Amino acid sequence: MQKQPIFRSKLLPYALVAPQLAIVLIFFYWPALQAVIQSFLLQDAFGLSTSFVWFENYVELFSEPAYFETIVRTFFFSFAIAASSLSVALLLAVMADKPLRGGAIYRTLLIWPYAVAPPVVGVLWVFMLHPSLGVLSRYLRAAGIEWNPLLDGDQAATLVILAAAWKQISYNFLFFLAGLAAIPKSVLEAAAIDGARPMRRFWTVTFPLLSPTIFFLLVVNIVYAFFDTFGIIDTMTRGGPGKSTETLVYKVYNDGLIGGNLGSSAAQSVILMIMVIVLTGIQFRFVERKVTY
């Protein structure tokens, strides 16, 4: 990882890494360490004294059924968001990959939602599907559905999943397009000569060759659903009604800020850190494999 002809200087390299090192140590390692320490401490209700309690915060967390529900809910959201967004994006990418007139325009018109911030996504969707004033709610009511995501937890969850999946379509679309472009045309032509019809060609040739892209996107989408949905949830439902749209990150925020339970919030942060490290590890191993393909 290093150049053969290199510079020799005693102080210069340190001066060059110093700014980044300082920022990383102050704003990354120090807080991460604090989170770990904090998760072993218990503060009394008035914040006057703290005591070291080993794993009590963790034990308490895992003995709470509500925490398990949040974990299950977060994973459910993740898979629902990933599945719906990936399938729509794949369909669009396969269509846009064809040699069509105006192909570049389609691409431009489909990728821009990447740039829409999660809280804005939340505002857009909550407005469209607001029970009393949303333009789409009228049609839902006309169709006989009692639509009220402000009161009905399942409907609120559907709303969050829809909005989050909507935002992620453009990202997935772009990576699918890149993946499709990398598939050698000769393989598809060979299958066509063998008499495979387009649908069959897609499922037996294109889809398996896309599997690395799909797996990569699956991990990215899960991480997205874990973290980036915070803005969507906060402007749409604030975790409610009840706790029906509270994800793990939202719970960290809620318990720490509103509940004032810093020990528990820190323990949750540490658990989240471990989850992200595992996910990233899976992704790295996979990326390495893709390189040696």
Partner 1 sequence: MVEQEGFRRYVAHIILWIGIAIVAFPVYVAFVASTQDNALIANGQMSLLPGGHFFEVYYQTIFVGTSGTTREPVGNMMLNSLVMALMVAVGKIAISIISAYAIVYFRFPLRMPIFWLIFITLMLPVEVRIYPTYKIVADLHMLDSYAGLSLPLIASATATLLFRQFFMTVPDELLEASRIDGAGPLRFFWDTLLPLSRTNMAALFVILFILGWNQYLWPLLITTRDDMQTIQIGIRKMMTTNDALTEWPIVMATAVLAMLPPVFVVVAMQKLFVRGLVETEK
Binding mask 246-265 for partner 1 (x = CB under 8 A): ---x--xx--xx----x--x
Q: How far is CA 159 from CA 42, 173, 274, in A?
A: 37, 21, 29
Q: Is 187 in the site for partner 1 (CB under 8 A)?
A: no
- Residues 39-78 touching partner 1, rule: CB under 8 A, are none
* Using rule CB under 8 A, residue 164 touches partner 1: no
Residues 200-229 that bind partner 1 (CB under 8 A): 220, 227
How many other CB atoms are there within 10 angstroms of residue 104's CB atom? 9
Nearest-approach distance from CB 261 to partner 1, in angstroms: 11
Residue in 41, 192, 209, 282 binding partner 1, rule: CB under 8 A: 192
Confirm or reject binding of residue 23 to partner 1 (CB under 8 A): yes
- Longest CA pairwise span in the chain (Å): 78
**Of these, 59, 66, 72, 116, which contacts partner 1 (CB under 8 A)?**
116
Taking CB under 8 A as the binding criterion, the range among 42-50, 56-64, 66-74, 191-199 that sits at the site for partner 1 is 191-199
Per-residue contact string for residues 119-158; x = within reach of partner 1 by CB under 8 A: xxx-xxx-xx-x-xxxx-xx--------------------
For partner 1, the closer of residues 80 and 92 by Cβ is 92
- The residue within the footprint of partner 1, chosen from 53, 140, 188, 282 (CB under 8 A), is 188
Q: At what angle do helices 229-236 and 118-128 cross, to 10 degrees?
A: 40
What's the rounded Cα separation, in Å, for the pair 265 and 254? 8
| Torsion of the alpha carbons at 261, 265, 266 and 269, rounded to the nearest 10 | 180
Structure-token match 């914040």, residue found:
47
Establish if 34 lies at the interface with partner 1 (CB under 8 A). Answer: yes
If the CB atoms of residues 35 and 157 are measured against partner 1, the closer one turns out to be 35
- Which two tokens mark 243? 């706790």
Tell whether residue 115 is a contact of partner 1 (CB under 8 A).
yes
Give the x/- contact pattern for partner 1 in 225-244, rule: CB under 8 A. Answer: --x--xx--xx---------
User: What mask of x and - would describe binding to partner 1 in positions 93 to 112, judged by CB under 8 A?
Assistant: --xx-x-x-----xxxxxxx
Identity of the amino acid at 39: S
Distance between CA atoms of residues 198 and 191, nearest Å = 9
Among positions 42, 156, 210, 266, the unique one binding partner 1 when judged by CB under 8 A: 266
Establish how many alpha carbons lie within 13 A of residue 289's alpha carbon, considering only the half-sphere containing its beta carbon: 11
Q: How far apart are CA 238 and CA 242, in angstroms?
A: 10
Judged by CB under 8 A, does residue 118 bind partner 1?
A: yes
- If one asks whether residue 184 binds partner 1 (CB under 8 A), the answer comes out as no
How near is the Cβ of 188 to partner 1 at its closest, in Å? 7
Of 272, 260, 290, 287, nearest in space to 47 by CA = 260
Nearest to 290 by CA among 170, 201, 178: 178
Q: Is 170 a binder of partner 1 (CB under 8 A)?
A: yes
Of 277, 269, 275, 278, the C-alpha closest to 57 is: 269
Q: What angle do CA 120, 77, 209 make, to 5 degrees?
A: 100
